[in-house]
């Protein structure tokens, strides 16, 4: 049976108690006597026909002798006078080997274990250990007795998926920049151990000893700041999606958002990105998406083959799952749980991709709790501090140089679901102020079956592309001029459009159909690496440069239709095949013939 988590503090006794004086949905007001702390975990007790339950909650505001708690579960039955137990601990997650391949809720309860014990309908007040206590891991020591270590330094490793999971000296939270030093006094030899067994013992400068196990506990709302240097994101994170890598790239350690109306393909883009992105670990945070999309993700990922390893994609994936039917407070917890897990793997020198779907649900949860707290509302009733909360979340991404000289990164990509596809609403605008790339999805392109449905004339990126920048600027000018001609044709009609402008329009349609769109079901076209993108985009740029001359618009249309089909066929040919070079040559010959070169 999976181990459960209790509600007591680490010393086995709660630090304070209080009693409920008010309940407003998931907001509970508690009167207390001993001091309590912001973001402290508490358990609200209530009597039910099945027995006594304790509902997990977090302190979100302290006012004199009263504390406001957001409860992570349904509060039906909770009433004034019920006892509340404060734990003296901040809202935290367990970190260690075994996180990958798992599906957790926002409080890091393993859903598979919960379903196995509780059945199809998960009851309230049940909390499970995040890591399996029975699994044994092959430990290899990496430090020698007598060595001086600091928090975050590696004492040993265990194999997890395709990389080595570092067992680190635990971090001390809430202290200044000066971290303690520890001397390694004991370390276990090569062997198989559970996560709770002591694998090393360290001693600080005052002679106090600390046992090191494979498990660490990190508060979710305190970012790690123990590193040598924070670097500006510069190296592209290749997603193998051409419109992203070439036109609107994302950098390792960078941030980006994917806003768009419902049904425009946000979840699909995230799934494709998580499969093909050049990262070591993927953390998916379904922070309030609809249950159908979450179920599809959970069912699909174990069956997908990881193109990097040939094994299951879930072996380097961790999913944090909170559907829109779960309490609003759990949506906020899921976001912070996910980013803390991502930071943990970054501290091992790995590149991590965190995908949050969708941050609009999280913002709506903030709005609901802010309303219950009776705070002064901002635009569209969102809290006035919405922008700073969103910024603090995305700022936890980044590329770091660690103290041992290795590099690790957390790249954060969040989807936004603005009502009616209105990008002027507060959540989208607050997100755009802090991210480095904007992939705006278009309802018009989605309805026209132009996938990915990223709008090429509204999206932008601050990061470096994988293709030549000069050729990229020229291609964007073609798209802009083509849009202008398209708008003019809606008024004048095709017959009233000069053939020179019509050719510009056809060029932009050729670029859109042949390069920006991809067939996700084709083995070759579904994922285009950086080298292939550079090669094919260079050819595309040359084809767009030619000054084509045609006597009639029908002849121009037929030529570009033929050129588009040839280029699409080229997209499906493996780069190492002889046919690839032959098709490239044929495309050039067709263009030179039409341009009379």
Close Cβ partners of 25 (under 8 Å, ≥ 6 residues apart): 75, 368, 372
Return binding residues for ATP: 260-267
Would you report the helix, strand and coil content of the chain in percent, each value rounded to 5?
35, 25, 40
Return binding residues: 260-267
Run of H or E including 15: none
Instruction: Round to whole Å and give the CA distance between 468 and 369.
Output: 48
Q: Are 187 and 200 spatial neighbours (Cβ–Cβ below 8 Å)?
A: yes
Q: Are 316 and 100 spatial neighbours (Cβ–Cβ below 8 Å)?
A: yes
Q: Are 501 and 553 spatial neighbours (Cβ–Cβ below 8 Å)?
A: no
**DSSP-assigned letters across all residues of 287-304:** EEE-HHHHHHHHHHGGGS
Give the rounded distance of the alpha carbon of 34 from its chain centre: 39
Count the neighbouring beta carbons within 10 Å of the beta carbon of residue 70.
Answer: 24
Sign (positive or negative) of CA dihedral 515, 517, 522, 527:
positive
Instruction: Round to whole Å and give the CA distance between 237 and 473.
Output: 20
Phi-psi region of 492 (alpha: psi -120 to 50; beta: other; left: phi over 0): alpha
Close Cβ partners of 466 (under 8 Å, ≥ 6 residues apart): 236, 238, 245, 246, 249, 530, 533, 534
| CB-count burial class (<10 Å; 0-12, 13-18, 19+) for 589 | exposed
Instruction: Round to whole Å and give the CA distance between 370 and 332.
Output: 13
């Amino acid at each position: 049976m999976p181990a459960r988590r209790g509600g007591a503090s680490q010393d086995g006794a709660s630090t304070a108690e209080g009693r409920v004086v008010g309940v407003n949905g998931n907001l509970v007001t508690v009167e207390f006597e001993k001091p309590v702390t912001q973001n402290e975990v508490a358990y609200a007790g209530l009597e039910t026909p099945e027995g006594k339950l304790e509902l997990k909650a977090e302190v979100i505001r302290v006012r004199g002798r009263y504390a406001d708690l957001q409860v992570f579960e349904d509060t039906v039955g909770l009433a004034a006078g019920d006892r509340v137990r404060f734990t003296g601990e901040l809202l935290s997650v367990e970190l260690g080997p075994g996180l990958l391949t798992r599906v957790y809720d926002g409080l890091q309860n393993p859903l598979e274990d919960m379903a196995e014990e509780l059945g199809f309908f998960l009851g309230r007040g049940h909390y499970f250990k995040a890591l399996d206590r029975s699994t044994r891991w092959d430990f290899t020591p990496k430090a020698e007795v007598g060595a001086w270590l600091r928090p975050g330094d590696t004492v040993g490793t265990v194999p997890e998926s395709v990389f080595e999971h570092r067992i680190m000296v635990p971090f001390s939270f809430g202290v200044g920049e000066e971290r303690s030093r520890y001397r390694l006094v004991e370390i276990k030899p090569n062997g198989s151990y559970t996560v709770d067994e002591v694998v090393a013992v360290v001693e600080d400068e005052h002679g106090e000893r600390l046992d090191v196990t494979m498990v660490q506990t990190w508060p979710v709302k305190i970012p790690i700041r123990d590193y040598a240097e924070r670097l500006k994101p510069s190296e592209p994170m290749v997603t193998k999606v051409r419109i992203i890598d070439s036109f609107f790239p994302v950098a390792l350690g960078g941030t980006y958002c994917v806003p768009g109306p419902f049904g425009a393909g946000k979840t699909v883009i995230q799934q494709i990105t998580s499969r093909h992105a050049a990262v070591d670990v993927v953390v998916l945070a379904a922070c309030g998406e609809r249950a159908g999309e979450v179920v599809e993700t959970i069912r699909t990922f174990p069956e997908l083959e990881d193109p990097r390893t040939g094994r299951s994609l879930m072996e380097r994936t961790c999913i944090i799952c909170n559907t829109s039917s779960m309490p609003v407070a759990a949506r906020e917890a899921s976001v912070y749980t996910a980013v803390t897990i991502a930071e943990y793997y970054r501290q091992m020198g790995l590149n991590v991709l965190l995908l949050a779907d969708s941050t609009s649900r999280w913002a709506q949860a903030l709005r609901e709790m802010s309303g219950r707290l009776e705070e002064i509302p901002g635009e569209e009733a969102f809290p006035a501090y919405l922008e700073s909360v969103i910024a603090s979340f995305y700022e936890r991404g980044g590329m770091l140089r660690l103290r041992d000289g290795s590099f690790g990164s957390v790249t954060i990509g969040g989807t936004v679901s603005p009502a009616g596809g209105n990008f002027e609403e507060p959540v989208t605008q607050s997100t755009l102020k802090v991210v480095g790339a904007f992939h705006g999805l278009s309802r018009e392109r989605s309805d026209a079956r132009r996938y990915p449905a990223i709008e090429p004339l509204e999206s932008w990126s601050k990061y470096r592309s994988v293709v030549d920048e000069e050729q990229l600027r020229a291609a964007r000018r073609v798209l802009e001029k083509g849009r202008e001609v398209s708008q003019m044709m809606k008024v004048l009609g095709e017959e009233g459009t000069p053939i020179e402008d019509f050719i510009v329009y056809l060029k932009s349609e050729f670029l859109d159909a042949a390069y920006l769109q991809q067939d996700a079901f084709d083995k070759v076209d579904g994922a285009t690496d950086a080298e292939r993108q550079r090669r094919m985009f260079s050819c595309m740029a040359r084809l767009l440069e030619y000054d084509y001359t045609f006597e009639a618009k029908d002849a121009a249309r037929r030529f570009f239709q033929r050129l588009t089909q040839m280029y699409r066929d080229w997209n499906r040919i493996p780069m190492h095949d002889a046919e690839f070079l032959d098709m490239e040559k044929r495309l050039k010959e067709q263009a030179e013939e039409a341009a009379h070169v």
